[in-house]
Amino acid sequence: MDGVIDTNGDTYIQVSPSDGNHGNKDVIRIKNYEGEYKRIGVVQFDFKSMNISDLTEMTLRLYFNKMDEKETVTETYLNIYTNTPGWVENTASYDSITQASGYKAELIKEHVVIKGDQVGSYITIDVSDAIDYIEDGKISFILDIEENRRMMPMVLIPVLNSQVKNPEQKRHRSSSYQTSM
């Protein structure tokens, strides 16, 4: 692994109240309920301290912390989209994220299977297709459940891993890419 990048913003947004902010929460809650209780995860990573011209791979690691145990659904499907970066965690809201240009700009992964028995473990997802969507050294993702709405809430904690082409750079960068939460 060349580098681990912690988020510089992670939150969830909820349909109602649409101007509510959840940036002070320790986790991302996702629900696919209809109406006011729908929740969407939003995460952002900052590569500005790195040379990303040689970036070839990215994986998103999500720690699956919890799910609604009252429901009978055993799996659901996560969709990951790119999103316009630059939002601020403590002011992000459903209105500010969904009404900005670039909301759900590109579908990167569709129907990533998340099973109920994965609670308490990491889910690793290849998001290398998003490399071209890094803007001004940042990348932002939308995490959305679009099926099996009754499985949620799903609680996630994100981390991004990156790899570069040149093995010489790999040895040099592995420690400098490491950041703490």
Upstream peptide bond of 17 is cis (omega within 30 degrees of 0): yes
**The amino acid at 103:** Y
Map residue 45 onto helix, strand or coil.
strand
The answer, yes or no, to whether residue 109 has pLDDT greater than 80, is yes
**The amino acid at 169:** Q
Predicted local distance difference test score (pLDDT) of residue 172: 24
> Is the model more confident about 67 or about 80?
80
Mean pLDDT of 91-112: 89
Local confidence band at 160 (pLDDT 50, 70, 90 cut-offs) = low
The answer, yes or no, to whether residue 1 has pLDDT greater than 50, is no
Predicted local distance difference test score (pLDDT) of residue 105: 83
Predicted local distance difference test score (pLDDT) of residue 174: 21
DSSP H or E run through 173: helix 167-176
What does the mean pLDDT of the chain come to? 77
Query: pTM (2 decimals)?
Result: 0.81
Predicted local distance difference test score (pLDDT) of residue 177: 24
CA distance between the termini of the chain: 18
Mean pLDDT of 77-81: 91
Tell me the C-alpha distance between 24 and 27, whole Å: 9
pLDDT digits (tens, 9 = 90+) for 166-178: 433 322 222 122 2
In the chain, % of residues over pLDDT 90: 25
Q: β-strands 154-164, 9-14: how paired?
A: unpaired
Tell me the C-alpha distance between 85 and 42, whole Å: 10
* DSSP for residue 97: H
